[in-house]
Amino acid sequence: MPGYKGKIREILESMGIYIGCKIKITLGNNFVIYGLLMPKHELSHSDIIVLKLDNGYNIGIDIEKVSSIDVVECREKATTEKTPRRSEITLKEIPTVKILGCGGTIASKVEYETGAVKPAITPEEILELIPELKGLANYKVDVLFNILSEDMTPQHWEIIAKSLLKSIKEGVNGIVVTHGTDTMGYTSAAIAFALRNLPMPVAFVGAQRSSDRPSTDAALNLLAAVITTLKAPFAESVVVMHASPSDAEAYIHRGVKVRKLHSSRRDAFQTVNDLPLALVDLQNREIHVINDRYIRRKSVEDLVPIIGFDDRVAIIKAYPGIQSEIIDALVDKKFHGIVIEGTGLGHMGSYTINSIKRAIEEGIAVVMTTQTVFGRVNMNVYTTGRRLLEIGVIPGEDMLTETAYVKLSWVLAQVRDLRRVREMMLTNYVNEINTRHTANMFIDLGIKLPKR
């Protein structure tokens, strides 16, 4: 009875109720609720019963408001036998896609015996979840780790890159990486730098809403990712997610130019300072290229793996009143790199310049990006920017802060000489820098004023 204690646990156990039982709860006003008994977090309120309703949503019910509990049905308890971490399903004469699990809710299914959501880590489970995938490819599934997106680290990026390299050398025809959405942009950027001249797209995919919710986007996104890695003419690390709130299309975003711009919308991911690479038409299972500035597929022999990331890199966001001591602390702690997310064209409070200068003199690479999301830094316009350039701050061009952070981490794992670091940070390796911006690269809200 995970999460249940005291009075509630005693009541449920005395009635033979366990996780996954369908029960009927009658409230004091004779309002009746049916649902599956769910496990709950240990930190949840001790007097709450959690049910999964027939519509897929969970609800918490205060035991003090319950007048009666009745058992409707208790299925056989779920087996505790562990599912193998690696599995495959094979049909003849169709391509093979590797699905690499790195956490998140994208490749998950509802375990109706318990009402919980668990990773779908075999091809059979994934095809059960998304039958539209049948016939497109053979599937090999390997779960590297099942962690929360916010727990991803540069060490995890290295593990993912090495696993992808192994899969590519094994001769798979496509690769999909399932990942939590919150930090997926960081990981997709890391793979873009670590594995260059790819023979196929590496399609990162996530879900804003888990498979136990009626509005889940998991099936569409995963289907679009498989189509992408098999059919797209380009070979980059990409993010594949909903193009709109509807279920008709998905965008393919360049992995070094994408950001999650909404906490919950299904079309939360947007390309920044560039155009999406392509659109996936789910109905016809076609790829429509939008951006012809892409890296074409290469042979496996052309693959350039440079895997390694320095975890002594930090991001600082400029804000009114930011304390110079924050920079000093990073210097004292022997960090190797700092990315400053500056204001406007790339600025930081002028009173911090001495601390930034000290950092650079101590051999710490300092890169400037902008917190405006869209646009590029131009540190030649105003006095503060020019002073920062003079002391050695590296302009981050139009790179997203997270891309600059990942790139600096990758560069510092190779070199520490600041002149060489500057040179590499200003080198455009995988289209992370776009020298030409057009008006259609900025979000148009499409708001129309009412006619008078």
Q: What confidence score (pLDDT) does residue 80 get?
A: 39
In this predicted model, which residue has the larger pLDDT, 76 or 398?
398
**3 closest CA partner among 31, 36, 34, 45:** 45
Proportion of the chain above pLDDT 90, given as a percent: 64
Proportion of the chain above pLDDT 70, given as a percent: 85
In this predicted model, which residue has the larger pLDDT, 356 or 103?
356
Crossing angle (nearest 10°) for helices 401-412 and 184-194: 40
Please identify every residue annotated as catalytic. 105, 181-182, 260
Q: What confidence score (pLDDT) does residue 317 get?
A: 98
Q: What confidence score (pLDDT) does residue 77 get?
A: 59
pLDDT in tens, 388-410: 999 999 999 999 999 999 999 99
Q: What confidence score (pLDDT) does residue 99 get?
A: 92
Mean pLDDT (the chain, rounded): 88
pLDDT in tens, 318-351: 999 999 999 999 999 999 999 999 999 999 999 9
pLDDT in tens, 411-444: 999 999 999 999 999 999 999 999 999 988 987 7
Q: Are strands 116-119 and 22-27 parallel, antiparallel or unpaired?
A: unpaired
Q: With cut-offs at 50, 70 and 90, classify the pLDDT of residue 291.
A: very high
Residue 84 has pLDDT above 50, yes or no: no
With beta carbons less than 8 A apart as the criterion, state whether 377 and 345 touch.
yes
Q: What confidence score (pLDDT) does residue 340 get?
A: 98
Q: How far is CA 356 from CA 359, 365, 371, in A?
A: 5, 10, 18
Q: What confidence score (pLDDT) does residue 106 get?
A: 60
pLDDT in tens, 210-256: 655 555 677 889 999 999 999 999 999 999 999 988 878 999 999 99
> And the tokens for 168?
């590519």
pLDDT in tens, 168-217: 999 999 999 999 999 999 999 999 999 999 999 999 998 886 655 555 67
Which residue shows structure tokens 């360049």? 254
With beta carbons less than 8 A apart as the criterion, state whether 191 and 201 touch.
no
Rounded to an integer, the average pLDDT of 304-329 is 98
> And the tokens for 300?
């496996």
Residue 83 has pLDDT above 50, yes or no: no
Rank 116-120, 264-268, 284-288 by mean pLDDT and report only the highest.
284-288
Q: Is the dihedral angle over the CA atoms 238, 242, 248, 251 positive or is it negative?
A: negative
Q: What confidence score (pLDDT) does residue 449 get?
A: 67
Cα three-residue angle 189-195-200, rounded to 5 degrees: 95
Q: What confidence score (pLDDT) does residue 112 get?
A: 46
Q: What are the structural domains of the chain?
A: 6-73 (2.30.30.520), 86-305 (3.40.50.1170), 313-425 (3.40.50.40)
Query: Cα–chain-centroid distance for residue 435?
Result: 26
pLDDT in tens, 375-385: 999 999 999 99
With beta carbons less than 8 A apart as the criterion, state whether 308 and 443 touch.
no
Residue 356 has pLDDT above 90, yes or no: yes
Q: What confidence score (pLDDT) does residue 443 get?
A: 78
With beta carbons less than 8 A apart as the criterion, state whether 446 and 279 touch.
no
Cα three-residue angle 173-179-180, rounded to 5 degrees: 165
Q: What confidence score (pLDDT) does residue 347 get?
A: 97
Q: What confidence score (pLDDT) does residue 113 get?
A: 47
pLDDT in tens, 32-51: 999 888 877 555 566 788 88
Compute how many other C-beta atoms are within 10 angstroms of the C-beta atom of residue 124: 12
Residue 160 has pLDDT above 90, yes or no: yes
Strand partners, 177: 100, 204
Terminal CA-to-CA distance of the chain, rounded, Å? Answer: 62
Instruction: Write the burial class of residue 59 (CB in 10 Å: 0-12 exposed, 13-18 middle, 19+ buried).
Output: middle
Burial 100-114 (b: 16+ CB within 10 A, else e): bbbbbbbbbbbeebb
